[in-house]
Amino acid sequence: MSLYRSLHPFDLVMASTRMYASLPVVGKHLEPFAGLTAMMMYGHHYAPAALRGMASRRLSSDAAEAAPADVPGEAISPSRGKRTPPYLRFRAQRQRCLYRSSVRYGDHPAQLLDVWRLPDLPPDAPVLLFVPGGAWVHGSRVMQGHTMLHHLVKQGWVCLTMDYRVSPVHRWPRHIADVNAAIAWARANVDKFGGDRNFVAVAGCSAGGHLASLAALTPGDPRFRGELTEDADTAVDAVVGIYGRYDWQDRSTPTRKNFQNFLERVVVGRSQSKHPEVFEAASPLARIHADAPPFFLIHGEQDTIIPVGEARAFADKLSAVSRNPVEYSEIHRAGHAFDLVDSSHARRLAVEVGRFLNDARARQLEGETAAAV
């Protein structure tokens, strides 16, 4: 039976993508096209606002370039046209930092991660697991987060960047189960690559920010463990949410209704009206508690895909409840995926994330020292 009383053309297209993705031998190679199809069919809802935002930021950038050098904020203004966008530098950054590629963190062919680290890394280095974004229909470790990961590796971190199973071929909660599987793998195995199993942080962009935040807030939730055994450790020591989606419940505006419809038809495969508990359980905003790990949230002021108000609301509510530090940073004139298109924003992100994570690591070491005395 269809999710809705009458079949929508979109449902027929999604059914066809799941059908060809399930074909023997070739199906696994066709899975990415199913996700791209879903993104294109829903992306037109966001295109006008995204184009207006790009034009506005371009005008702001031109004005900043013409402004005197002492204009406030000039040191972190958007990158000039002569600078190479980060998405064109990812191959070089990956080549410099990649230590081991396509390491399996589970039995499924999609459960792969890359290990980034220095060749002469001292033992027991802190660890960051990076979860890429892609609207829960694309989850590839290629390209995303590379400026941040490169910066952390140079500071002596072991960084893991992962693939995970995505919709519409794989329905929710497969995505979060894979993230938890990768965390559990790091807790059990990262010492083989020089990492400290006692300090594992998680970060993610966009949909990856949602998954990273949800995993951090719900360790041990049996709904999100997939094939993991009960004794698998999925707790994390710090979290970084980068232009993430934190609310899976709100339907108060046309834009929010459109997003919830996307979740229903493409990601979850269930109606929110009939299964509200599924969407509440998957919403980081609804899973906040006092024992949340340290959080750092960073968002672009001019994000037209995930409006900045959602990040502000999540940061405010988390700050009011959590016993651990909660930090929030807002980047002026930045849109969605700013770290892929703007070099200055990407560098700012890397520096701020590095500072936060190194502080979290230092607090943990101080606590271990105090406990041992």
pLDDT digits (tens, 9 = 90+) for 192-208: 999 999 999 999 999 99
Residue 304's contacts (CB-CB under 8 Å, 6 or more residues apart) are 46, 49, 50, 52, 53, 335, 336
Q: Is the pLDDT of residue 182 over 70?
A: yes
Q: Among 49-53, 86-90, 98-102, 247-251, whose mean pLDDT is lowest?
A: 49-53
Question: Chain-wide mean pLDDT for the chain?
Answer: 85
Which is the catalytic residue, given 114, 237, 303, 342?
A: 303
Give the CATH number, domain containing residue 276.
3.40.50.1820
Annotation marks residue 336 as catalytic: yes
3-state secondary structure of 238: strand
Tell whether 361 is covered by a domain: yes
pLDDT for 62 equals 42
DSSP structural state of residue 326? E
Domains identified in the chain, total number: 1
Which is the catalytic residue, given 167, 206, 213, 322?
A: 206
Q: Which helix (H) or strand (E) holds 128?
A: strand 125-131
pLDDT for 91 equals 74
pTM of the model: 0.84
Tell whether 268 is covered by a domain: yes
3-state secondary structure of 181: helix
Residue 7's contacts (CB-CB under 8 Å, 6 or more residues apart) are none
Bridge partners (DSSP) listed for residue 240: 203, 296
Confidence of residue 79 (pLDDT cuts 50, 70, 90): very low
Tell whether 150 is covered by a domain: yes
Tell whether 313 is covered by a domain: yes
Task: Tell me the pLDDT tens digit for each residue of 251-273.
Answer: 999 999 999 999 999 999 999 99
DSSP structural state of residue 264? I
Task: Tell me the pLDDT tens digit for each residue of 120-169.
Answer: 998 899 999 999 999 999 888 888 999 999 999 999 999 999 999 999 88
Tell whether 36 is covered by a domain: no
Tell whether 306 is covered by a domain: yes
Tell whether 230 is covered by a domain: yes
3-state secondary structure of 87: helix
pLDDT for 2 equals 43
3-state secondary structure of 197: strand
Annotation marks residue 316 as catalytic: no
Annotation marks residue 359 as catalytic: no
Between the two ends of the chain, the Cα-to-Cα distance in Å is 63
Side chain identity at 104, as an amino acid letter? R
What is the Cα–Cα distance from 223 to 94, expressed in whole angstroms? 34
Q: Are 135 and 207 in contact (CB under 8 A)?
A: yes
Q: Among 12-26, 85-99, 225-239, whose mean pLDDT is lowest?
A: 12-26
Which is the catalytic residue, given 299, 336, 339, 342?
A: 336
